[in-house]
Structure 1
Amino acid sequence: MSDENGIPCLSGERKSNASTYLPTLFALGASSAAGDALAQNQNSTQTNGYGGVTSTLTGDAGQAVLGKALSGGMRDTADWVKARYGQTFDAIYVPPGMKVAIHITKQLAIDYEEKGRKVNYGFSLSQAGTGLD
């Protein structure tokens, strides 16, 4: 795509959702990490003689549960935001009426029916008991 002179740069207004999408994901991620830290802070871990790690609840069980709940809830909310709003987008809004050139570099397969297509709704008004609802 280019302007009418073939210059591949169109002037217009930049539109993007990054300014709201990315800070939202950052805040949700930070909240999830804070919940993880709160839950992990209630446990003590140590390495045993066999190379394994043992974790024991030594702090407040309520705080550990709260941290896990906060972490899981924020993670689920972040997943929902990602699914609902997709990804960030950037676009250039070009005012109506601006002339642009579209450069096609490979053949496009267009399914063109010369006689047109007909739609069959599967009923006839001439048959008894049939017709529109």
Structure 2
Amino acid sequence: MNKREKVFMPENAAIQYQLLQLLYYRHMSGEVRPLKTQEAYKLLESIFNLSNAQKEAVNADGSSVWETRVRAAYEGLKKCGAVYAPNRGELSLTDNGLKMMHELIYEIKELSYKHSLQSE
């Protein structure tokens, strides 16, 4: 396959959600070390079960399509105050990001509870 051929990539919102969740669970498990961006790429590749074609796809400038997508997802989360970079090449969850995840988990619990009542 030509590395410049168009390949399916996960949606930006899906990457954002998985990145936020990854940072959240690291935080909740007591991991205080920021996540290295190279680690994030690999962990997210695994989460999304990317094919070799997806991992090897390149943009016109030769940069990795996948890494560009992950960086864009990170930038979106950074703009809404959910994550920050304590140092170059590192990702961490902010207090706002932690609050967002707590709210999301609460919403999921509420939806699950409402669905279980409708199923009875």
Indicate the TM-score class for this superposition, using the shorter chain for normalisation: under 0.3
More helix as a share of residues = 2
TM-score scaled by length of structure 1? 0.25
TM-score scaled by length of structure 2? 0.27
The structure whose Rg is larger is: 1
More strand as a share of residues = 1
